Structures are given as C-alpha cells and as structure tokens.
Structure 1
Amino acid sequence: MDGTLHWWAALIGLALAIVLILRKLNATYALLLGALVGCLLGGASFADTVNIVVSGSQSVMGTVLRVLAAGVLAGVMMESGAAERISRAIVSTMGDKLAIFALAFATMIICAIGVFIPVAVLIVAPIAIEVGSKLHISKLALLVALSGGGKAGNIISPNPNAIAAASGFHVELADVMVGSFVPALCGLAMAVLLASIMQHRSTPVSLKDLDAQEKAELAESDLPSLHSALVAPVTAVVLLMLGPIGSMTHVAWLEHLQIDALYILPFAAIVGLLAMRKGSHVLEYTKSGIGRMVDVVMILIGAGTIGGLISASDLPQRIVDLINMMGVSGSLLAPISGILMAAATASTSTGVILAAGSFGDTILSFGTAPAAAAITMQAGATVIDALPQGNYFHVTAKSMNMTIGERMKVVPFEAAVGLTMTVVATLLTIVW
C-alpha cells in the first residue's frame, strides 16, 4: 500500500468497534468490522485492507499462544478444587477479627495464581456469605473486599491481562508481575479500608443469599490437601522469577535463563496435577482451561486487527503531536489508554489488549520504558472496568444476590481501588 491511512479514519474505526461492543455485538466481530471500515474510509483498497487486517492479527499470535498456555494452569487450579482449598485455608486461618482482610486476601491470592477474577469471586463468595451473615457484614462491603482483592491479584498474575501487557511491550511476564506487586498491595489495603468502613452500612448479607448461588461447590473430601494445592502456583512463580532474580543478584546463568511463560505455565500445572494425584483428569482439566480462554483469544485476534489499522494510519503521530502541544507527560498515555479502553469494553483483559495493540508504539515513542508502560497500562485498566455492559458486573452481582442498583453502588469503590493502584504504579515508574 502506498501512503498512510488518515488518522480520522482510524478513530472512526475504533469508535465504531467500541459502540458495537456496547450494543452487545460479539467483541471479535465488532473489532474486525471497525478495522475494515476504518481501513476503507482511510483510503485503503479492498486488497490493502485485507493485508492490513491480516498483518494486525498476526502481530498478536505470540500473546495468543501464551494465553492458551495459561489456560492449562487455570483449568487445573479451578477444576481440581486447588483454588477453593487455598481460599478456605486463608479465611479459616485468619478468623473473624480479620474476616474482611482474609476475604480480600484470599481473592487476591486466587487471582494471583492464575484464576480469572470473576471465577475467583465466585469461588470465595460462598465463604464470604457464610462469614458475613455471622458477623452482620453488608453485601456492599463483602463485594468491595472480594472485587478489590481480585483486582490486586489480577495485576500480579499470569492472567491474560498481564500476558497481553507483557507481550504488547515485549517484556518478560515476570517483570510485569514483580513491578505490579507494590501497587497490588496498596490496592488490597484500599479495598480492606473501604470494606471496613462500609461493613455495617447498606443491606446486610444472610444465608438466604447463599441459597441463591448456583455454583456447585466440591465436597470437603474432594478437595486436595493445602500442600498439594500450592504446588502448581509455587512452581510457576519460582520458575517465572528465575530471570528477575538472576538480574538482581547478577548470577549470570540465571540471568540468561530465559524460560518463557509458554513453557512454564503448562509445566507447573502438570506438576501440580501430579502432586494432587489427579493425573488421570489431565484431559478434562485442560479442556476446561482452554475453553475458558477461547473468548480471550478471539478478542485478541480482533484487537490485533484494530492495532493493524492504527499502525497503518498517522494517528500515532497525531497523538504524539497533541500531547507535546498540551505539555502533558507522555508517560501518562499508558495508564490513560488503559483506563479508557477498559471502560469502553468493561473488561480488564480486553482493555489492556486493545490499548497495547492500538497505542503501544505511540507510548514507547515518548521514551517510556516498556516495563513501565506495561505496568501502568495494566493498572489503569482496573479503574472503571466493572461496568454494566460487561459480564463481570453481572457475575459478581449474582454472586452476592444483589440487584442492579445494589451492584452499581459498588462501582465507585472498585474505581477507588483501581485508581490507587494506577497512581502508585505511575509514581513508582517515574521514580525508577
């Protein structure tokens, strides 16, 4: 193709995709249609449009493979009962006095070991309802604790959002996880603080809300032991940390031991499966894991097509010129783009995928370090991602037997947790 597409055509294509997502069209088709329309409006021929879209989708294949690999670990942790065993152990160990912290921390840990945040909330919600009904804690406070803790765990996990952030800026997944650790702790602290303030306000939870759950819990006897449940996540974390540990300690062979998450996550899952003596379920658990990743993979492909459109246009240069003219620090583009894209799609993962694919090169052109961009973008995507047009809003409302009105009251508290992590992540990356 000769020449560059018009910037306004790229914006129209992106806006069209977002509007169609809000209108409940399948996100992959919405993104693909937006990319096609943007290319054609921008001056590309039919043949050039296909080339741009295909090239864009090819650019996300590395991320796709890593997300599929993460599905193995997620399937094993969820289907084996390992995640539920870990959450029960945390809550029972900390007792009633630290109930809110225990619930938030349990959800954080479940997310951090690779379980999707809505699934993590569903796992911990029945425990939260039982504890909350005994201590007369409100539904609002419980969901603030669970959702806030989940957000904190989500940015330090091998989940699709972290993988997309790392792959989008060509940094190690472990670097994103480690760099997000302090912001995650601050987010957890904010979630616990807000939940504690609201624990006796709003509608109290009762055991009747537990009866409304449709989640089929495993019997206690079917759950693995705590030690065996921890094998998979501990193995994954240790292997992912080898590179960063080598860099910090200047141990040459560790520093050059670059084992990708593509290898580590499935390997850790299989080791954990064998430790739990559930090796015979490997086909069942991996099938479940990959099934949970299908939607993410399809969105990744769609986001790649939009990224191809933007890369082929002069929109990135226009954004650079605008930011320079306004005198705003270019380092703020990463968290801002994460906030906006996650708000538009009502999804942390989709927001990161779309923001990294669309604005990644522009962000780096300001001299922002790739790791800093990945960390702050991912944190930004947790600010206003829990909106009604997304599944997370409704899944978590159902987990606490909330009405839409009750669930909407939680959104500002979730935004406060996400904003806390974003501000801390941005300040830390500036200092570094």
Structure 2
Amino acid sequence: MTAGMDISWIGALAGLALAIVLILLRQAPTYALILGAIVGGFIGGANFSEVLSILISGTQSVQGTVIRIIAAGVFAGVMMESGAAETIAKVIVDKLGGTKAMLSLALATMVITAVGVFIPVAVLIVAPIALTVGHKMGYSKIAILVALSGGGKAGNIISPNPNTIAAAGGFDLDVNQVMLGGIVPAISGLLVAVLLASALKYKGTKITDEDTKELEKNSVENLPTLSKALIAPVIAIVLLMVSPIGAILNIDFLEAIKIDSLFILPFAGLLGSVVLGKSKQITSYCTAGLNRMTPTILIIIGAGAIGGLITASTLPTEVVNLVEALGISGTFLAPIAGMLMAAATASTSTGVILATGSFSSAILNTGVTPLSAAVMTHASATVLDHLPHGTYFHVTRNAMGMSMKDRMKVALYECLVGLTMTIVAIILFGFIL
C-alpha cells in the first residue's frame, strides 16, 4: 500500500466499475483504466498529489512485466512472420490426419500458443488449415472454433506469453515455474476441448466452398521446414527449463543457472532467424513482434494504474473479510480474483495483471503458496477472457467467418474449457500440493 494513504474500498470499487463500463462502451482500455484509477482515487478520499502517487506507483509496479513482454516480441515476431508457427501447425494437422481432426486442430493451436505466439494470432494461423479440414469432413464452424480456442487456452497457460509473465511477476516467481505448474490443467483443458468439439462437429453452420476459396488465394508458400521451424521454440524451452530440471534432479549447478525470459526469448528468436536463413529480416521481425506486443503493453500500463488504486485502498482487506465471513476457503480467492478481473477486461493478460497486482498480498495472506496462487489465478483467467467486449471474441469470429449468434454459442463451450482447467488447478494446487 502507498505510504500514508487510506483510500476507501468504495472509491476503488467505483473506479474499477467506471473502467469496466468504459471498456464495455468500446473506449480505449488504457485510458478507461487510468481514468477509473483517477476518479476512484478522488472518490476514495485522495487529493491530487495522492492520486498522482497512486498512478505512478501502480504503473511502476508493472514495469518488470512490460520489459519482459517487449523482449518476448523478438521471439513472437520471428515465429509469426517467418512462417515457422504455420509450419508447425500444418505438420501436426497433416500427421494426425482427418480421422483425428479435432485433436489435431486443438493440439496445433495449443502448441503454437505454447511456444510463445499470442492466442488470437495462433487461431488466425491455424484457422485457414482448420476451415479446409472442416470443409472436407463436413464439420461445423462452431465445432472447429471450439477446438481452436480450447486448444489455444490450454497452450496459453503454459507459454512464455504476457499473461504467464504477468502471473509469475505478480507472485515473484520465474516464468518457467508457472509454465510447468500449468501443464496438468492445460492437458485437461485440451482433452475437454477435443471432446466438446467432437460432440458438436455436425451441429451448426457448415463451412462453405466460398470460405475455402478465399483461403486458397491467401495461402502462404515457401514455408520453412519443420526442423528449422522448431529451432527457436526448442532453444527457448530448453533454456527456460534448465533451472527447474536441476531442482527436480537435485543437480545444484543446473538449478543455479537462473536465466530470465528477458534474455532467453530474444536470444532464441535471433538464433532461430539465423537458422531459418532470415537474418536479414530480423529488424522487420522485431518491429512486427513489438507492434503485436504494443496494445498489450499499453493495457498493462492502464491495469497497473488501477491496480495501484486497489492496492492502496482497503478493498483487498474487505474482500478477504467477505470471503472469511461467507465461510469460503482462502484457497478460492486466487481463482475468484483471476476469473472476475479477466471477465471485467475480456483479456487474459490484463485480468492476470489486475488480479495479481491488486490481490496478491491478500491471497498470500490466506496461506496459499506463491506458485499455487499464480497457477490458480492464471488458469481462472481463461474462464471468461473471451467475452464480447474484448478483441479476442471478434478476431476469432472474423477468422472463421461466423455469425454473432454462432460465436456466442462457442463462448459457452470456451467457458467450460477454462472452468475445467481452473478446477484441476484448484484441486492440484489448492488441496493436493
């Protein structure tokens, strides 16, 4: 909490509500969050200098996350712009074949997201392949998107993406710890996504000849080979896992090698571009990656501002008191915070930033360990992060050429995938470990 301040929880709640309303009204999320922090500060009893202090301390608290996300842009740019991500997706779908279509599509999106590509971009990459496969098999668009989005959500909680970096940073953990912790929930989410998609494959609007004709015109040629496409993600994963593997095997010198994702991801991206024979394009790849990261970075700065307000207020204490009064275990505070904040912003990364920045201390005070708190918060942020006031809903709808009605139906099944991962995370990290 900011020293010397006693901000009323009413002000914090009012500021958060204002930000949510403005986001729902399609205002720029960054400005909505900052304005919410300002108005909430005044309502909560702060003066001008105190509100300024809240904004500065809040935005400063997310700078570690921001710089890691900027660094990750090098890796993401190489994977997306070089065609490496698409190569991996095509190989997975081709190898598993049409008989396991739903598994292959969900797995392809999961892997692409898991190696560091943003989930909406992963869906955009796999969507043309998915529509072609779905057209041949006579499957519905609803089923195809359930497979893609469900697989993407599963990959998103085990990836070095902004949301994972935020979950780790919020509880002072290494990103590889949160990635490893999400593996079992992610596999559960993948299985549920495949089962749901398989049950829905003949229900809803079918893919037409027009859908696939347009895709064939835009198909990408001269993609890299699989062996070259895998270099960057393999290097990144190996380096990120050196320390955890050392800890598991009790090898002290490996455990002592703690290299932050800030260094690993750009290094893997640069080396990957050289192997791909695209070293001359590295500047354009970095620019493209940074452009992809910029909207998230700006939102995170806004989230930091309102997170500063909530942290400086009595709201976290009041929430803990309410949880205790209702007789709810403190274990559930992490998933409740993650779910609500992601629903408010319709964003996994922003939801995680708000949940960890505002409630991390309160969550840890209930006796939950940092790793358990991070994994449960992270998994729960996937339950409602696809709501219509966010970009993901509309990007995926356009990628599939879906009607609003069909896209809303998919949202219900996406909730089930996220809820499955959350329940598994709660059982595993809230009660077993």
Same fold (TM over 0.5): yes
Partners of 2:360 and 2:326 in 1: CA distance: 20
Q: What SS does the aligned partner of 2:158 have? A: coil
Instruction: Show the 5 A alignment for 1:40-79.
Output: 40-79=42-81
Partners of 2:304 and 2:137 in 1: CA distance: 48
Match of 2:410 in 1: 410
Gaps of 5+ in 2: none
Q: What SS does the aligned partner of 1:409 have? A: helix
Instruction: Give the number of aligned pairs.
Output: 430
Match of 1:111 in 2: 113
Task: Kindly indicate whether the alpha-carbon contact (under 8 Å) linking 1:130 and 1:207 is maintained by their aligned counterparts in 2.
Answer: no
What's the CA shift for 1:2?
A: 3.5
Match of 1:237 in 2: 237
Aligned partner (choices 87, 99, 102) of residue 101 of structure 2: 99
What's the CA shift for 1:213?
A: 5.3
Amino acid at match of 2:36: G
Match of 2:293 in 1: 293
Match of 2:339 in 1: 339
Amino acid at match of 1:340: L
Task: Kindly indicate whether the alpha-carbon contact (under 8 Å) linking 2:6 and 2:312 is maintained by their aligned counterparts in 1.
Answer: yes
Amino acid at match of 1:55: S
Match of 2:122 in 1: 120
Poorly superposed stretches of 4+, deviation over 3 Å? 211-217
Task: Kindly indicate whether the alpha-carbon contact (under 8 Å) linking 1:56 and 1:306 is maintained by their aligned counterparts in 2.
Answer: yes
Instruction: Show the 5 A alignment for 1:61-210.
Output: 61-210=63-212
What CA deviation, in whole Å up to 9, does each residue of 1:317-370 have, x standing for no partner?
Answer: 111211111111111111111111111111111111121112112111111111
Amino acid at match of 2:272: G
Q: What SS does the aligned partner of 1:411 have? A: helix
Q: What SS does the aligned partner of 2:105 have? A: helix
Task: Kindly indicate whether the alpha-carbon contact (under 8 Å) linking 1:129 and 1:207 is maintained by their aligned counterparts in 2.
Answer: no
Q: 1:79 to 1:217 in 2, by over 3 A?
A: farther
Task: Kindly indicate whether the alpha-carbon contact (under 8 Å) linking 1:341 and 1:351 is maintained by their aligned counterparts in 2.
Answer: yes
Gaps of 5+ in 1: none
Task: Kindly indicate whether the alpha-carbon contact (under 8 Å) linking 2:5 and 2:50 is maintained by their aligned counterparts in 1.
Answer: no
Amino acid at match of 1:238: V
What's the CA shift for 1:128?
A: 0.8
Match of 2:432 in 1: 431
What's the CA shift for 1:32?
A: 0.5
* CA RMSD after TM alignment: 1.3
Amino acid at match of 2:182: S
Match of 1:260 in 2: 260
Q: 1:215 to 1:177 in 2, by over 3 A?
A: farther
Match of 1:329 in 2: 329
Match of 1:379 in 2: 379
Match of 1:18 in 2: 20
What's the CA shift for 1:3?
A: 4.1
Q: 1:243 to 1:268 in 2, by over 3 A?
A: same
Amino acid at match of 2:191: A
Normalised TM-score (structure 2): 0.97
Task: Kindly indicate whether the alpha-carbon contact (under 8 Å) linking 1:105 and 1:149 is maintained by their aligned counterparts in 2.
Answer: yes
Task: Kindly indicate whether the alpha-carbon contact (under 8 Å) linking 1:35 and 1:53 is maintained by their aligned counterparts in 2.
Answer: yes
Partners of 2:234 and 2:213 in 1: CA distance: 34
Q: 1:189 to 1:329 in 2, by over 3 A?
A: same
Partners of 2:209 and 2:106 in 1: CA distance: 20
What's the CA shift for 1:210?
A: 2.7
Normalised TM-score (structure 1): 0.97
What's the CA shift for 1:216?
A: 4.3
Q: What SS does the aligned partner of 2:130 have? A: helix
Partners of 2:80 and 2:217 in 1: CA distance: 12
Amino acid at match of 1:431: I
What CA deviation, in whole Å up to 9, does each residue of 1:64-96 have, x standing for no partner?
Answer: 011111111110000000000000001111111
Partners of 1:292 and 1:215 in 2: CA distance: 25
Q: What SS does the aligned partner of 1:382 have? A: coil
What's the CA shift for 1:211?
A: 3.8
